[in-house]
Amino acid sequence: MMRILAIGALLWAGAVQADISVKTVTSPGGLSAWVLEEPAIPFTALNIMFSGGAALDPPDKRGAAFMMTGLLDEGAGDLDSQAFAAAKEALSASFSFDVSDDTLSISVRVLTENRAEALALLKTALMEPRFDPDAVERVRQQVLSILASNAQDPTDIAQRVWAEQAFGDHAYGTDYQGTESSVAALTRADFLAAHQNLLVRDAISVSAVGDITAEELGPILDDLLGELPAGSALETAPLELDIPAGLTVVDIPTPQSVAIFGHSGIDRAHPDYFAAFILNTILGGRGIESRLTAEVREKRGLTYGISTVLISKDQADVMLGQVASANDRIGAAIEVIRDEWSKLARDGVTADELHAAQTYLTGAYPLRFDGNSQIARILVGMQRQGLGLDYINTRNARINAVTLPEINRVAAQLLKPEALNFVVVGQPTGLTEE
């Protein structure tokens, strides 16, 4: 299996540098999908994404979607958990189930010779999950263990507090994995409700990559997904983003402090998104080559690592950063971050920085296509984001089309040093809450 994945990576890393022909498929039953045909190896990756995720949990049932997703391969139909696992192993099939605030995703990897049987097994998991008491309690204990570990982790604490401040009472402001009390109280009825809400036919995006044709995929879609209940995805509750500026300290005994910082971001569909994407790369998204790394780590030795990222959720867009430093140095690191945020907003980037970032982003793009499963995941994400079929082949041109005046205009509009919200977890010295 590993050799197959390695060969697939080589095939697609080369292919993305040329035109990639993505085909659209509409099944006889009306289901749509994208497919990239690559018959060179007998292997297919299938990715299914349902719009609507853990943010749809009722407030007192947080964690229901997360646990339900974890239970999908813990027994289905006539097969209990052990029998289901044995059947999957016998077919050399891989099913991966994941949930976020806004989506539920299923990733499938299967050899062509076992595809029909493997997808029949997957269909059973989707249509007839058992939610057996022993499986429920086992997964519940796993989740509670994760929550207990997270409760002691400074980074997780900082992220949780920042989200609470940024998103308030909205579901985004709470952990999609749930809380100790909410997870402990979840019942089989809650998992059935989450399953009914999330796995609906009109909320699906699908992509397939590998040894499968468009003609083959249509009937497969109907057989695998056609019996799901009709209906559109439930929408995440609207959110009026109002992130308070300032600094919060959470006192935890640890030798170093962790800081999460950020403010509002930019929607993925905004015309200025590519300029903002490059801007973030220059500021903190390019590892050791970023401005923040140069100033905070290389010049001053205040951290081993610092980064920023643009995050787009269905109801909120944020620009978020993270840094860790010794308790007696985190204050200096924050001061440098604020200074660099201000300089970039005021003065913009240089022509050399823009060119270097564009070269980096366009050169690194083919490396993302490191196997059929990764490509299928990228394609299904493109569908959900409303990107066109030609995005893979035009993305680098869009990066290179961003001009210096454009990116500097976006820097002045997007970067708001006065709006930065810092949450610091540790025992920092010389820092006062704002």
CA separation for the pair 280, 247 (Å, rounded): 22
358: left (phi over 0), alpha (psi -120 to 50) or beta: alpha
Alpha-carbon distance values, 197 to 8, 51, 80 (Å):
35, 10, 24
Give the residue from 349, 320, 351 showing the smallest Cα distance to 411.
Answer: 349
CA separation for the pair 347, 408 (Å, rounded): 8
Alpha-carbon distance values, 328 to 61, 261, 285, 331 (Å):
41, 18, 26, 7
Q: What does the pLDDT look like over 18-49, one tens digit per residue?
A: 456 889 999 999 999 999 999 989 999 999 99
Mean local confidence (pLDDT), 311-338: 97
pLDDT of residue 106: 97
Q: What does the pLDDT look like over 389-420, one tens digit per residue?
A: 889 889 999 999 999 999 999 999 999 999 99
Q: Which residues make Cβ contacts (< 8 Å) with residue 214, sequence separation at least 6?
A: 23, 25, 35, 37
Give the percent of the chain with pLDDT over 70: 95
CA separation for the pair 425, 163 (Å, rounded): 14
pLDDT of residue 321: 98
Neighbours of 417 (CB within 10 A): 17
Residue 120 reports pLDDT greater than 70: yes
Residue 1 reports pLDDT greater than 50: no
- pTM of the entire predicted model: 0.91
Got the DSSP string for 48-61? EEEE--GGGS-GGG
Are 351 and 282 in contact by the 8 Å Cβ rule? The answer is no
Residue 244 reports pLDDT greater than 50: yes
Average pLDDT, the chain: 93
Give the residue from 86, 82, 96, 181 showing the smallest Cα distance to 130.
Answer: 82
pLDDT of residue 19: 54
Q: How confident is the model at residue 163 (pLDDT cuts 50, 70, 90)?
A: very high
Are 105 and 48 in contact by the 8 Å Cβ rule? The answer is yes
Mean local confidence (pLDDT), 327-340: 97
Residue 13 reports pLDDT greater than 70: no
Got the DSSP string for 255-301? SEEEEEEEEE---TTSTTHHHHHHHHIIIIISGGGSHHIIIIIITT-
Alpha-carbon distance values, 93 to 46, 120, 221, 279, 281 (Å):
11, 11, 18, 41, 37
Q: Which residue in the block uniquely carries the two structure tokens 């009825």?
A: 189
What's at 414, amino acid-wise?
Answer: L
**β pairing state of 32-37 and 204-210:** parallel
Residue 434 reports pLDDT greater than 90: no
Mean local confidence (pLDDT), 110-123: 97
pLDDT of residue 12: 36
